[in-house]
Amino acid sequence: MLAFMLATALAAPVGLRRLADVDAVDLGSAAKFAVLSKAGISTVPPSAITGDIGVSPISAAAITGFSLVKHSDETYSEAWQVTGKVYASDYTSPTPSEMTTAISDMETAYTNAAGRTTSTETDEQSYVDVKAGLIGGTTFTPGVYTWGTDILFDTDFTISGGLTDVFIFQTTGNVKAGSGAKIILLGGALAKNIVWQVAGFVDAGTTSHLEGIFLVKSFASFKTKSTLNGQVFAQTAVTLDSTTITLA
């Protein structure tokens, strides 16, 4: 029995054994949003968003391409491209104060993720500047990873872990996904436990597929027929082009 237990432990991926205790990033009241922006959300139809979207402090005029229809109580709007509600800072109370809180919680989450300590390097796993940011073909196990460069992938890469494992990817640069490149989840890893703290911008190429919560200091651009399983929170604008976003 002891020999079996030792063999099992040795066979387990190092990252999965050591880093299961990485804490999740609390999104607060922002958690219900699929897309949240301080400067606007635009779409080239048809996009398909499952989850709420919202803007603040900018007004609903900065939500373009959605053909918004305001609800009778004027606290939110609806749109045929959104399976959820659309909120803006200039809607009827209590929406303005709720949006102020959601944006504050979004910024707090960004700061929280940016402040996480990078996981300790081992002979088996690196957590700093993995592949100099060119991460196509890489498999990531749970932990906190950091880059002082852009994160780029023109080919698929994998995030592998269990249902409760947390992954935090920090970069002082941008995240760029090439056309058709995909993030693949294995072993039960969930998008809601994957956080991208991006000091620059996010650029999702045509037909690319992203997974996780993107906390973006600048803008997020999703090119034609790109998809996201997760959430995108941008401190400037979000632009979509026949994009599918599903709140995870």
d(CA 108, CA 128): 24
Position 122 scores a pLDDT of 82
Q: Per residue in 137-175, pLDDT tens?
A: 999 999 999 999 999 999 999 999 999 999 999 999 999
Reported pTM: 0.91
Among residues 131, 211, 165, 213, the alpha carbon closest in space to that of 13 is found at: 165
Residue 78 one-letter amino acid: E
Rounded average pLDDT over 227-243:
98
Q: Per residue in 104-141, pLDDT tens?
A: 999 999 999 999 999 998 877 899 999 999 999 999 99
> 3 pLDDT exceeds 70?
no
Share of the chain above pLDDT 90, in %: 89
Query: Are the beta carbons of 215 and 20 closer than 8 angstroms?
Result: no
Among residues 67, 77, 83, the alpha carbon closest in space to that of 99 is found at: 77
> 10 pLDDT exceeds 70?
no
